[in-house]
Structure 1
Amino acid sequence: MGNSLTGRVAVVAGGTRGASRAIAIELGRRGAFVYVTGRSSGRQRSEVNRPETIEGTVERITETGGEGAAVRVDHLDSAQVATLAERVDREHGRVDILVDGVWGGDDYIGWGKPVWEQPLEHSLRMIRLGIDAHIITSHHLLPLMIRNQGGLLVELTDGTAEYNARFRVGTSLGFYIPKAAAHQLALAQAHELREYGCTAVAMTPGWLRSEAMLEHYGVTEQHWRDALVKEPHFCISESPVFVGRAVAELAADPERQRFTGQTLNSGQLAAIYEFDDVDGSRPDAWRYVDEVQEAGKPADATGYR
């Protein structure tokens, strides 16, 4: 892999934890200077109320030999995002890679409840976090990207375009709408960025072993397979590093514009770019979900990782 992104400037919005944190770390490892933004900073926590911070992400970037800066930003606050853009412009004059991973809505999902049984503010909050914050971020930061040819915009989501083409039964309207909208955000921005030689994609990890998910199952990354007792289909899960490597490989690909407007996933890009997860496997989660989990078959990742 090497330092193939040396000299690039990246902004990872919502880079506090999970997939976004891993992406920020891998971009930094590959040589990009990474601005890591989010609301959890120092003793200030977002409504997610977890211990991970943007400074913690930058510390991990530094440990890999990379460079970055933590900037506390609420991406629903246009003035704060404008101030971020002014700082990036002043310090680097451009953005080469913009990863929009802003979310923080998991506590509002209300699994399986119809919209009229959900607190209205919860449904609207998820939509604001998953759509409004992303549009605000693009509005202020894409002008720094189009100054040069070859920029990359990544809209993080949950689920492939094909999977999200139908309602995610068991979730909720407020969750489903923003996750499905990421595909349209990528499609629209791909069109708007095309004349500037920039690429826009949506990106989804598979079944992610995020900090919150590991905690939910009471396991660690080293012993994640212990969770199979509670959830056998967790056998297809992947570490956040996997999607981090996927985005870093995409960013380093001089022919990445062939993907513009598409929704990509980590397993798909692992097959194209030939990289592995931390355990040496290549989990193909969304094919597994479709062919095994949704088909009602017993959990068995043979042939899928």
Structure 2
Amino acid sequence: MSTPLGGKVAVVTGATRGCGRAVAVELGRAGATVFVTGRTTRLQRSPMGRAETFEETAELVDAVGGRGIAVRCDFTSVADVDALRDRIESEVDGRLDIIVDDVWGGDPYADFASAYWESDLDQALTMVRNGVETHLIALHRLLPLLVRRPGGLVVEVTDGEDDEYVGAGIPYYLVKSGVRALGRALGAELAKHDCTGLAVTPGFLRSEAMLDLFGVTEANWRDAVTDQRPEFAVSETPTYLARGVVALATDPDVQRFAGRTLASWTLMHTYGITDADGSKPDFGRYFREVYLTGTDPHTVDATNYR
């Protein structure tokens, strides 16, 4: 088994499910030691109310040949992140090569239907705290470990490759734009230490929660491609973005992407990655050619975009 990240140490925040879980697993498959962090344990669920646990993610990392270290960490708590930092110091001598910052925790607080001034302010502020302040806390405490050695990589995970507002709600837009801004700023700041910072985004993500929402599983997900949601045909698994992150982590010239936000389809075109089923979803091209042109999506063969 090829282990291009053998000897490397990574932290994945928000690794309980979705892209965070997939990234942790793919880093482990490449040979990395991965600190797998999250809030939902087998004994207690987080406010997200999901069944997936970060302990399961750590076991999946082990199963593919990596080393998964499960650490409960609420990234709104500085004390929790300090404890995570101390675990890294004690268990791997403070080595940290890769940070994948995937904390979110905003789904229950998202209001896509109401005007912002008619929405719940407490929920909006909770979303911002969970989606932005957590990243700031994680970076403040973990970057001192990463910059000890040249070649470190920080990947911020967001939604959307640019700052164009497409109507997802002001608090949501603020969070995701803020994470892209962190990627830009990290690109400049970390370059001073011969490290790289950037952001990445998936396309239409077929996460565990999305599959549940549509009432399908990964095995029969195409049953959810309906007249109401034809664009689901161009959806992608979390593994797609995760393989792109591993490609970045193993690219000796990754600094050329410093400060950028790279979409899964951009990573596909750059590195030739495929999704779990061998396809190459290009939601970006679908969005440009179908949505932005006003084309009726029911007249489009979505297989041309994967």
- Do both proteins adopt the same fold according to a TM-score greater than 0.5, normalized to the shorter chain? yes
Aligned-residue offset at 1:302: 4.1
Aligned-residue offset at 1:142: 0.5
User: Residues 204 and 234 of structure 2 are in contact (CA less than 8 Å); yes or no, is this contact kept in structure 1?
Assistant: yes
1:201 to 198, 220, 224: 198
* Counterpart-to-counterpart distance in 2, 1:172 and 1:195: 36
* Counterpart-to-counterpart distance in 2, 1:256 and 1:271: 15
* Counterpart-to-counterpart distance in 1, 2:165 and 2:123: 19
* Aligned residue number for residue 97 of structure 2: 96
What are the superposed Cα offsets for residues 182-226 of structure 1, whole Å, 9 maximum, x if unpaired? 111111111111111111111101101000000111111111111
Q: How many residues align?
A: 301
Give TM-score, length-normalised by structure 2. Answer: 0.95
* Aligned residue number for residue 281 of structure 2: 283
Aligned-residue offset at 1:112: 2.7
> In the alignment, residue 260 of structure 2 is paired with which amino acid?
Q
* Aligned residue number for residue 241 of structure 1: 239
Query: Displaced runs of 4+ in structure 1, greater than 6 A?
Result: none
> In the alignment, residue 102 of structure 1 is paired with which amino acid?
V
> In the alignment, residue 111 of structure 1 is paired with which amino acid?
F
Aligned-residue offset at 1:284: 1.0
Supply the RMSD in Å over aligned alpha carbons.
1.2
Structure 1 spans left out of the alignment, 5+ residues: none
Q: Report the identity percentage.
A: 48
> In the alignment, residue 34 of structure 2 is paired with which amino acid?
V
Give the secondary structure class of the aligned counterpart of 2:200: strand
Give the secondary structure class of the aligned counterpart of 1:196: coil
What are the superposed Cα offsets for residues 141-192 of structure 1, whole Å, 9 maximum, x if unpaired? 000000001111011001112xxx22231x2111110101111111111111
State yes or no: 1:210 paired with 2:211. no
User: Residues 233 and 303 of structure 2 are in contact (CA less than 8 Å); yes or no, is this contact kept in structure 1?
Assistant: no
State yes or no: 1:144 paired with 2:145. yes
* Aligned residue number for residue 42 of structure 2: 42
Aligned-residue offset at 1:240: 0.9
> In the alignment, residue 197 of structure 2 is paired with which amino acid?
A
* Counterpart-to-counterpart distance in 1, 2:304 and 2:259: 29
Give TM-score, length-normalised by structure 1. Answer: 0.96
* Aligned residue number for residue 107 of structure 1: 108
Give the secondary structure class of the aligned counterpart of 2:145: helix
What are the superposed Cα offsets for residues 234-257 of structure 1, whole Å, 9 maximum, x if unpaired? 011001110110101110111101
User: Residues 199 and 259 of structure 2 are in contact (CA less than 8 Å); yes or no, is this contact kept in structure 1?
Assistant: yes
* Counterpart-to-counterpart distance in 2, 1:83 and 1:278: 35
* Counterpart-to-counterpart distance in 1, 2:70 and 2:290: 41
